[in-house]
């Protein structure tokens, strides 16, 4: 699932699974400093959008949160989502919001050779794996990120 998420969504720089909370933490990079007002607006937009989307799909959101840290002019936005209610469609919607909010400032690391059919396959795979993980709360803590065109996954 981690590989599929990082391949399908080149905006995501890192995915972390936390067994204790049964949540994913998705990190994106922004090429500028985000002030507290911008972070607050973004946090509110994402929370309202996720909750509305979940309500429409008959799911109850347990965890949706966003934190931002800035180092050396680059902001790292980390979104927490519980695996019980997260869907691939919601993930796509959230990343569309981030692309719209940040535009060219959002760091995107493209994988070469991905076409529409490959992307659709990755989306199906992500949804299937999210379904499988909803009841599996005994997975190890994991972290995945891209480095030089490869996806690396580590047990934390």
Is the pLDDT at 42 greater than 70? The verdict is yes
Reference 46, options 31, 63, 64; nearest CA is: 64
21 versus 156: the higher-pLDDT residue is 21
Q: What is the pTM of this model?
A: 0.87
Is the pLDDT at 112 greater than 70? The verdict is no
Confidence tier at 52 by pLDDT (50, 70, 90): very high
Q: What letter does residue 153 receive in the DSSP assignment?
A: E
Is the pLDDT at 1 greater than 90? The verdict is no
Any residues with CB less than 8 A from the CB of 63 and at least 6 apart, and which?
21, 23, 80, 81, 82
**Over residues 106-115, mean pLDDT:** 75
Reference 156, options 144, 13, 7; nearest CA is: 144
pLDDT of residue 121: 84
For the chain, the average pLDDT equals: 89
Q: Could you state, in order of their start, the residue ranges of all structural domains in the chain?
A: 2-155
> What would you report as the CA-atom Rg of the chain, rounded to the nearest whole angstrom?
15
**Over residues 68-83, mean pLDDT:** 93
């Amino acid at each position: 699932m981690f590989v599929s998420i990082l391949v399908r969504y080149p905006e995501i720089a890192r995915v972390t699974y936390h067994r204790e909370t049964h949540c994913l933490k998705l990190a994106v990079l922004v090429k500028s400093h985000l002030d507290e007002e911008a972070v607050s607006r973004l946090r509110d937009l994402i929370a309202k959008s996720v909750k509305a989307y979940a309500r429409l799909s008959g799911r109850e959101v347990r965890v949706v949160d966003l934190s931002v840290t800035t180092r050396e002019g680059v902001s790292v936005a980390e979104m927490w989502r519980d695996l019980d209610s997260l869907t691939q469609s919601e993930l796509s919607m959230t990343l569309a919001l981030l692309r719209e909010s940040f535009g060219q400032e959002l760091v995107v690391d493209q994988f070469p050779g991905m076409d529409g059919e490959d992307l659709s396959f990755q989306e199906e795979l992500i949804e299937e794996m999210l379904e499988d993980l909803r009841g599996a709360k005994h997975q190890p803590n994991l972290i995945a990120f891209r480095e030089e065109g490869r996806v690396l996954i580590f047990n934390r």
